[in-house]
């Protein structure tokens, strides 16, 4: 049984080692297929949005708050108020789903 497990592990290592160049090539082609013009446009947009944020909003964007979609409308309003009041950067769902 342990000989078989060792054989499987060795096979997996060779498989992984063989796929690393393919993964590196894939990452390289996906970066190069993105045009320089598109990168400049996106960077410009991000910079323009960031420039309009107050210091408080910039700090708020660093935070991600806990959210539960299965706690009812009162809790949803509480989370919505936190988003508005603190300009939070994101939500992390712990129970339920983004759709309920």
Residue 42 domain flag: no
Residue 40 domain flag: no
Whole-angstrom distance, CA of residue 75 vs CA of residue 71? 6
Q: Is the pLDDT of residue 4 over 90?
A: no
Higher confidence at residue 4 or residue 59? 59
- Answer yes or no: are the C-beta atoms of 91 and 64 closer than 8 Å: yes
Total domains in the fold of the chain: 1
Residue 31 domain flag: no
- Give the structural domain span for 83: 53-100
Per-residue pLDDT tens digits for 24-59: 555 555 555 668 888 888 889 889 998 999 999 999
Residue 82 domain flag: yes
Report the pLDDT value the prediction gives residue 90, as an integer from 0 to 100: 92
Residue 17 domain flag: no
Residue 3 domain flag: no
- Answer yes or no: are the C-beta atoms of 65 and 92 closer than 8 Å: yes
Element (H, E) at 94: strand 90-95
Residue 70 domain flag: yes
Per-residue pLDDT tens digits for 61-95: 999 999 888 888 999 999 999 999 999 999 998 87
Instruction: Read off the tokens for 13.
Output: 């290592």
């Amino acid at each position: 049984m342990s000989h078989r497990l060792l054989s499987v592990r060795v096979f997996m290592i060779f498989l992984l080692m063989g796929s690393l160049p393919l993964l590196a090539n894939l990452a390289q082609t996906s970066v190069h297929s993105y045009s320089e013009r598109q990168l400049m446009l996106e960077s410009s947009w991000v910079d323009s949005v960031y420039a309009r944020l107050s210091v408080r909003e910039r700090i708020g964007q660093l935070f991600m708050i806990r959210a539960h979609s299965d706690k009812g409308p009162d809790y949803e309003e509480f989370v919505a108020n936190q988003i508005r009041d603190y300009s939070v950067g994101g939500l992390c769902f712990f129970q339920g789903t983004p759709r309920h």
